[in-house]
C-alpha cells in the first residue's frame, strides 16, 4: 500500500508536467493564477523577493491563509516548509496540502538533516543544484525535484547552471560501464539503485521542474529547452507590472517553447518585468541551504 | 493509422510511450497548425482540465476539435480528458460537452484521496487503475455504455467513438485500454 502511495505521489507530478506552478499570497492572486492557466499554485505569505527584502527568519505560512487559497481554486495547492522541519510538514499534511515544498527559500530548521519524506503520505518536492542533491532528496522520499535557482532575484542564471549541471552528470552516468556505477554512487553520495536508474533511463526517477529566477516567457522557454519538465514562477509574476498577462504568456510559452514566432508575440507588451537583482549583488544565497 | 495527442499540458509523453509500445504512429498537438495533419484518433491526456481548456480556446483549436469530435473523430480522454468531453461537470465549466455524462471533478478530494486499485474493465479483464485527484462519472445518460466501476462509481465509459477513463491507463504498464481505443478506430 505504501509503495502505491509513493507511486501515486510521483504520478501527481507527472500530471503537472508541461505546466506552470505559480507563487501566490492571497486567494485573489490564486484565482488570477488559475485563470491564467497555472497547473498548481504555491501558497505562501511572502514571495521570495519580499522574503529577501524583509530579512529575518522565514517560516511556514499560516494554515488559515493556506486554507483560504485551497478554497479559492480547484487546481492543486502546494505550500513550503523549512528544510528539516518535519513538524511544519505534519501540519501541512494535516490540512491536506497537495504537495509540500521542503524549501531553501525559508530559513532552514535543521542544518544537517532533511525530512525523512518516506514517513509521510503527502508528496514532497525539493530543490537541487546538481544530480547528487536531486538523488539524495529522492532517496529521502521526494517524489518531485526542481532546480534551486536563486529565488526572488528574477535572475535565471542559477536555474540554468543547476539544470545544465544535472544534465551533464546524467550524460556522464549514462556513459559509464555498469561496474563503474558503484563508484559514481559513492562520489555522488547517493544510493546505487538511483544511479543505476539514471544509467538506464537517462533521467531521474521523478519529474524535474525548473525554479528560481524565471521572470519572462523567454526564461520559461529556455528552461524547457534545457530539459525542465515544467516551471515554477515565484516572484516573477506578482512582482511584475501586469501579472495576469505575464502569467498567461508564461503558460503559453511553456506549452509552445519550440515556436520562436509565438514566443515573440507572447513576449510583446507585457509591461514591466520584476526588477531583477544580479547574483553578485545579493548577500544571501538561498541555493546554498540544504545539500 | 495516426493518432493526435493533445500536448498542451499534462501526461502526454506517457500516452506517446503507450502508442510506441503498440507500434502506432502519433503526433503532438500544441497549436492550430498541428491540426492540418491527417488524424485518425485523438487523445486528451491527464493533467489540469482548466489549463488545457483555456489553452485550447486561446490557441484557436477548440472549435475545430469540437466539430471534429461531434462529427465522429474517435477520441480517448483520461482524467482531465474525461472532464473536457463531459456534457455536465458539477460546479465547474464544461468544454467540448460531447459525451452524455455528468462528472464530478476532484471527486475524491485532494492528493491524500488519490488511490490505486485493480478492477474489471468490460471486454478486457482486470486492469490497474491509478486515480490521481480524479473525477468520477456521477451519471451516464442515454447512449453511454459503462465499461468499468471502482468503489461503487463509474470510472470508464464509451459513447460511439468516444472513450473516457477517470483513471490513468497511461501511467501503468498495461497497454490494453490503449489497444481497446485503437480497436475502436479500426472497426
Chain A nearest C-alpha distance from B187 (Å): 31
Confirm whether pTM is higher than 0.90.
Answer: yes
Pairing of strands B75-78, B162-165: parallel
Count other C-beta atoms under 10 Å from residue A4's C-beta.
Answer: 15
Which residues between 30 and 49 in chain A have a beta carbon less than 8 angstroms from any beta carbon of chain B?
34-35, 37-40
Beta bridge partners of A14: none
Does the beta carbon of B118 lie under 8 angstroms from any beta carbon of chain A?
A: no
Tell me which chain B residues have a C-beta less than 8 angstroms from the C-beta of A93: 112
Average pLDDT over residues B5-34: 98
CA angle A193, A78, B166 (to 5 degrees): 80
Place of cell 544511479: A195
Q: Nearest-CA residue of chain A relative to B8?
A: A255
Nearest Cα neighbor of B138 from B90, B92, B96, B93 is: B90
Residue A51: per-residue pLDDT? 86
Using pLDDT thresholds of 50, 70 and 90, give the confidence band for residue A47.
confident
Beta bridge partners of B150: B153
Please report how many Cα atoms fall inside a 13 Å half-sphere around the Cα of residue B16, on the Cβ side: 12
Place of cell 547517493: A190
Average pLDDT over residues A157-166: 96
Tally A–B CB contacts below 8 A: 116
Residue A30: per-residue pLDDT? 97
Using pLDDT thresholds of 50, 70 and 90, give the confidence band for residue A48.
confident
Place of cell 538506464: A200
Q: How far is CA B163 from the centre of its chain?
A: 7
Which carries the bigger pLDDT value, residue B84 or residue A239? B84
DSSP A57: -
Mutate: best of A3, A13, A14, partner B, most B CBs <10 A: A14
Q: Mark out the alpha helices in chain A (DSSP H runs).
A: 2-16, 27-36, 48-54, 63-72, 86-94, 131-139, 157-174, 181-188, 192-201, 217-225, 235-238, 243-255, 260-267
Residue A93: per-residue pLDDT? 98
Residue A201: per-residue pLDDT? 97
DSSP A38: -
Please report how many Cα atoms fall inside a 13 Å half-sphere around the Cα of residue A93, on the Cβ side: 14
Scored b (16 or more CB within 10 A) or e, B89-104 reads: beebebbbbbbbbebb
Contact A255, A18 (CB under 8 A): yes
Residue A1 has pLDDT above 60, yes or no: no
Residue B44 has pLDDT above 80, yes or no: yes
Give the model confidence (pLDDT) of A99-123 as tens digits: 999 999 999 999 999 999 999 999 9
Average pLDDT over residues B84-99: 97
Percent of chain A's residues with pLDDT above 90 = 82
Q: Which residues of B are catalytic?
A: 79, 168, 170
Average pLDDT over residues A56-80: 96
ipTM associated with this complex: 0.96
The CA R_g of chain B, rounded to the nearest whole Å, is 15
Percent of chain B's residues with pLDDT above 90 = 99
Residue among A19, A96, A259 minimizing CB distance to B9: A19
Residue A2: per-residue pLDDT? 63
DSSP A210: B
Residue A287: per-residue pLDDT? 83
Amino acid at each position: 500500500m505504501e509503495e502505491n502511495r509513493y507511486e501515486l505521489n510521483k504520478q501527481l507530478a507527472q500530471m503537472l508536467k508541461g505546466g506552470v506552478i505559480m507563487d501566490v499570497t492571497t486567494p485573489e492572486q490564486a484565482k488570477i493564477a488559475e485563470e491564467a492557466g497555472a497547473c498548481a499554485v504555491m501558497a505562501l505569505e511572502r514571495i521570495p523577493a519580499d522574503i529577501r527584502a524583509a530579512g529575518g527568519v522565514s517560516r511556514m505560512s499560516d494554515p488559515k491563509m493556506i486554507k483560504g487559497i485551497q478554497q479559492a481554486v480547484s487546481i492543486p495547492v502546494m505550500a513550503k516548509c523549512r528544510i528539516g522541519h518535519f513538524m511544519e510538514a505534519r501540519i501541512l499534511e494535516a490540512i491536506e496540502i497537495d504537495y509540500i515544498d521542503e524549501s531553501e527559500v525559508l530559513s532552514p530548521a535543521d542544518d544537517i538533516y532533511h525530512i525523512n519524506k518516506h514517513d509521510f503520505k503527502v508528496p514532497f518536492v525539493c530543490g537541487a543544484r546538481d544530480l547528487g542533491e536531486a538523488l539524495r532528496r529522492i532517496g529521502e522520499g521526494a517524489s518531485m525535484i526542481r532546480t534551486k535557482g536563486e529565488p526572488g532575484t528574477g535572475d535565471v542564471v542559477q536555474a540554468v547552471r543547476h539544470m545544465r549541471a544535472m544534465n551533464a552528470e546524467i550524460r556522464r552516468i549514462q556513459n559509464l560501464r555498469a561496474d563503474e556505477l558503484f563508484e559514481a554512487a559513492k562520489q555522488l553520495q547517493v544510493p546505487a539503485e538511483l544511479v543505476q536508474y539514471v544509467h538506464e533511463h537517462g533521467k531521474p526517477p521523478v519529474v524535474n521542474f525548473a525554479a528560481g529566477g524565471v521572470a519572462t516567457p523567454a526564461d520559461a522557454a529556455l528552461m524547457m529547452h534545457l530539459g525542465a519538465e515544467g516551471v515554477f514562477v515565484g516572484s516573477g509574476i506578482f512582482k511584475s507590472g501586469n501579472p495576469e498577462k505575464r502569467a498567461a504568456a508564461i503558460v503559453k510559452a511553456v506549452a509552445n517553447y519550440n515556436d520562436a514566432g509565438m514566443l515573440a508575440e507572447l513576449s510583446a507588451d507585457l509591461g514591466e518585468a520584476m526588477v531583477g537583482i544580479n547574483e553578485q549583488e545579493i548577500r544571501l544565497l538561498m541555493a546554498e541551504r540544504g545539500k | 493509422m495516426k493518432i493526435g495527442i493533445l500536448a498542451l499540458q499534462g501526461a502526454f509523453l506517457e500516452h506517446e510511450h503507450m502508442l510506441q509500445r503498440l507500434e502506432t504512429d502519433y503526433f503532438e498537438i500544441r497549436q492550430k497548425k498541428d491540426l492540418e495533419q491527417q488524424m485518425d484518433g485523438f487523445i486528451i491526456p491527464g493533467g489540469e482540465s482548466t489549463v488545457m481548456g483555456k489553452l485550447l480556446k486561446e490557441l484557436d483549436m477548440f472549435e475545430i476539435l469540437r466539430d471534429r469530435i461531434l462529427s465522429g473523430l474517435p477520441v480517448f480522454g483520461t482524467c482531465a480528458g474525461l472532464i473536457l468531453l463531459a456534457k455536465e461537470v458539477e460546479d465547474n465549466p464544461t468544454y467540448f460537452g460531447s459525451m452524455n455524462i455528468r462528472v464530478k471533478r476532484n471527486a475524491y478530494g485532494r492528493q491524500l484521496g488519490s488511490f490505486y486499485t485493480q478492477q474489471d474493465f468490460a471486454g478486457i479483464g482486470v486492469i490497474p487503475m491509478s486515480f490521481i485527484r480524479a473525477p468520477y462519472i456521477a451519471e451516464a445518460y442515454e447512449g453511454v455504455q459503462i465499461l468499468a466501476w471502482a468503489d461503487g462509481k463509474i470510472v470508464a465509459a464509451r459513447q460511439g467513438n468516444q472513450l473516457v477513463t477517470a483513471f490513468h491507463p497511461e501511467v501503468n504498464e498495461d497497454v490494453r485500454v490503449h489497444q481497446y481505443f485503437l480497436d475502436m478506430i479500426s472497426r
